[in-house]
Amino acid sequence: MTLLAEQLLNGLQLGVMLFLLAAGLTLVFGIMGLINLAHGSLYMVGAFASAWVQQRTGSFALAVLAGLAAAGGTGIAVEALVLRRLYAREHMDQVLATFGLIMFFNELMAILFGRQPLMASIPGFLSGSVELIPGVPYPVFRLAIILVGVAVAIGLYYLISHTRIGMLVRAGATHRDMVRALGVDIVLLYTFVFGLGAVLAGFAGLLTGPLLSVQVGMGDRILITTFVVIVIGGVGSVRGALVGAMLVGMVDTLTRAFLPGMLRGVMPASSADALGAGLSSMAIFILMAIVLLVRPRGLFPAHG
């Protein structure tokens, strides 16, 4: 029972992380029609910048600022220099160009910081654990991530549904030319949305730093999981990204934790462990397949 509670919180925390990444990616695809494989690179840039500044200064606040600024700045530069030329092109061109960006950023990080993983540490005031549920001590830092994710979700909801920028983002997703013909500089809007997505990706990266190691290529694997999230949620929908991220976070965490144990009841332990590990790493893709069978455009298709 205590293990289940702990794993549920872990699932929630992974879901929050995935939401931070998926929110930006789904907005960029939804309103600009751009497939950006380099989104994971922004996550990596945020993690590296933050870990490096933390090692140099020892300040967590400065590290957070550095991570957000580096990811946001990199995102805006990439949008202006590379991606802006790709909006009108085919998806295959976008995939090729942004795949190139992944390799560029992986190499750049290796040149700047080396191949050895950087270690980021949990700041003093967020270390240790608390017993939210009696008998289940849980790390404060992971709880903080969950709270931050909830706050970001609320903030994004407000931005998208209650501000004029949000209205323009939604309007631009269906009638891009019409938004322009009513006097809105869509280039500025795109830069803003892309920069926001980059900052959120960098945020996810710097929060991950103290939990996993910060290393070259760390964005590549999570990118695939993030795409699973936005496909499940419905491309272009922030609400879909939230629900998709929670589903994927839970399914991934719970199957990894419990599937081998459950299989041990029906087969020898060694086969159960091997099959359980294999099945649980496939679980989110099986989930995606099931969702697409029932709802081919995802759970919350953005364009009605």
Partner 1 sequence: MLRIEGLQAAYGHSQVLFGLDLHIGEGQLVTLLGRNGMGKTTTIRTVMGLLPPRAGRVAFAGADITGMAPERVARRGIGLVPEGRMVFPTLTVRENLIATAANRLRRPDAWTLDRIYSLFPQLASRTQQRAGTLSGGEQQMLAIGRALMTNPRLVILDEATEGLAPLIRDEIWHCIAALKAAGQAILIVDKNLAALKRLADRHFIVEKGRTVWQGSSAELDAAPNLAHRYLGV
Least distance from partner 1 to the Cβ atom of residue 22, Å: 20
> Which one, 89 or 115, has the nearer CB to partner 1?
89
Give 203's contacts (C-beta < 8 A, 6+ positions apart). Answer: 20, 46, 67, 68, 71, 148, 152
> Which one, 39 or 170, has the nearer CB to partner 1?
170
Query: 37, 102 in Cβ contact below 8 A?
Result: yes
Least distance from partner 1 to the Cβ atom of residue 173, Å: 7
Does position 304 interact with partner 1 (CB under 8 A)? The reply is: yes
Least distance from partner 1 to the Cβ atom of residue 179, Å: 7
> Which one, 176 or 256, has the nearer CB to partner 1?
176
Does position 90 interact with partner 1 (CB under 8 A)? The reply is: no
Helices (H), ranges, the chain = 2-32, 39-57, 60-81, 91-113, 140-162, 164-174, 176-181, 186-208, 218-233, 238-264, 269-294
Write the binding mask 152 to 181 for partner 1: x where contact by CB under 8 A, - elsewhere: ------------x--xx-xx-xxx-xxxxx
- Please choose, out of 118-126, 205-213, 218-226, 296-304, the segment that lies near partner 1 by the rule CB under 8 A: 296-304
Least distance from partner 1 to the Cβ atom of residue 233, Å: 16
For residue 226, give both structure tokens. 């993030």
| 136-139 and 129-133 beta bridge pairing | antiparallel
Task: By CB under 8 A, name the one of 76, 146, 159, 184 that touches partner 1.
Answer: 184
> Which one, 134 or 304, has the nearer CB to partner 1?
304
- CA gap 7, 1 in Å, rounded: 10
> Which one, 61 or 178, has the nearer CB to partner 1?
178
Least distance from partner 1 to the Cβ atom of residue 301, Å: 11
Query: 267, 24 in Cβ contact below 8 A?
Result: no
- CA gap 10, 19 in Å, rounded: 14
- CA gap 37, 95 in Å, rounded: 7
Least distance from partner 1 to the Cβ atom of residue 232, Å: 20
Best CA proximity match to 292, nearest among 225, 228, 232: 232
Task: By CB under 8 A, name the one of 62, 122, 148, 186 that touches partner 1.
Answer: 186
- CA gap 197, 170 in Å, rounded: 15
Tell me, rounded to whole angstroms, the distance of Cα 89 from its chain centroid. Answer: 25
Least distance from partner 1 to the Cβ atom of residue 155, Å: 19
Task: By CB under 8 A, name the one of 182, 224, 262, 286 that touches partner 1.
Answer: 182
Kindly state the number of chain residues that form the binding site for partner 1, as judged by CB under 8 A.
21
- Interface residues toward partner 1, by CB under 8 A: 164, 167-168, 170-171, 173-175, 177-186, 302-304
